[in-house]
Structure 1
Amino acid sequence: MPTAFTTSVLHITTGTTETVTDLTSDCEQFLTRTAAGRDGLLNIFVPHATAGIAVLETGAGSDDDLLSALHALLPADDRWQHRHGSPGHGRDHVLPAFVPPHATLPVIAGRLELGTWQSVCLVDTNVDNADRQVRLSFLG
């Protein structure tokens, strides 16, 4: 019987601009190696205080719309008490309250069950830290 729990870490470089990075193909490749046609759950977790995981449409402007909405909700200005790093960096530490650092998604017959236009994305507004880790864990 295959192992019931398997985990792996992705190393992602997000660059020096705020970004939404599509991780869907990375998740699918991980499941191809580990899920072997089984049903279960995929947990995606980013162990950073300034990044999150979102399930949303990409490529049609929704990723840019998300970043715009975050700018409106969390402006990069001097209102934040958390003040180290780039101006407005305190907002990045509030981001996980709006875009959580995790998502748990169903896996059916070894395949990620997403809606037609859904993608799994890393949301990173912290321009001071471009090196990110994303832990993928399959339980099934």
Structure 2
Amino acid sequence: MQQAQTRITVHTHGQAFYEITGEVARRVADSGIATGIVTLFCRHTSAGLLINENAAPAVQRDLLRWLATIAPESAGYEHDSEGPDDMPAHVRSLLTGVSLSIPVADGRMTLGTWQGVYLAEHRRAPHSREIVVQIIGA
């Protein structure tokens, strides 16, 4: 059994989904692990991780609108220390989640044809987001 750990930094420029599939794939390939699992962990409470369609950009736009409807900035939250997008970002992070586990086979993630891995930035301002990548296998 082998394991490798690395980190990916994503520089965001506001609310959006940032595809990181290629960067994660490179980290898996560089690990030399052929069969196992890669776990991703976002070290933030106002950003998240998700797997979704990467072929049609409309999917990401629709998901962003849906998240804004579910956790609107105008909901009268008590917590607004960093502005009106602060608490909605925490709720959206709860919905998108902060970790993913993806099987690895033949040295590659076993994503489906139209699946991509995304960092979901839930804040309006630019941020640097750190994702821990842990690969375990043989």
The two structures have a TM-score, normalised by structure 1, of 0.91
109-118 vs 71-80, which moves further: 71-80
Could you tell me how far 1:55 is from its partner in structure 2? 0.2
2:90 pairs with 1:93: yes
| Residue 5 of structure 2 is aligned to residue 7 of structure 1 | yes
Sequence identity of aligned pairs in percent?
23
| Letter paired with 2:60 | D
* Aligned with residue 54 of structure 2, among 45, 55, 58: 58
Structure 1 position 35, deviation (Å): 3.2
Aligned twin of 1:39 = 35
Q: Deviations over 1:72-125 (max 9, x none)?
A: 101012511211112232111112221000100000011110011000000011
1:29 aligns with 2:26: yes
Shift of 1:32: 1.2
| 2:79 partner SS | coil
Secondary structure (helix, strand or coil) at the match of 1:93 reads helix
> Helix, strand or coil: the match of 1:20?
strand
The answer for the alignment partner of 1:104 in structure 2 is 101
The whole-number CA distance in structure 1 between the counterparts of 2:49 and 2:105 is 21
Residue-pair matches, total: 136
CA contact (8 A) 2:55 2:114 kept: no
Provide Cα deviations, 1:14-64, integer angstroms capped at 9, x if missing partner: 01x20100010001100110034x100011110101111000012411111
Structure 2 residue runs of 5 or longer lacking an equivalent are: none
CA separation in 2, counterparts of 1:57 and 1:29? 20
More strand per residue: 1 or 2? 2
Q: Give every structure 1 segment of 4 or more consecutive aligned residues whose post-TM-superposition deviation is greater than 2 Å.
A: none
| Cα RMSD for the two superposed structures | 1.4
Of the structure 1 ranges 92-101 and 102-111, higher mean CA displacement relative to structure 2 is found in: 92-101
Decide whether aligned partners of structure 1 residues 120 and 90 sit closer, same or farther in structure 2, where only a CA change above 3 A counts: same
Q: What 5-or-longer segments of structure 1 have no aligned partner?
A: none
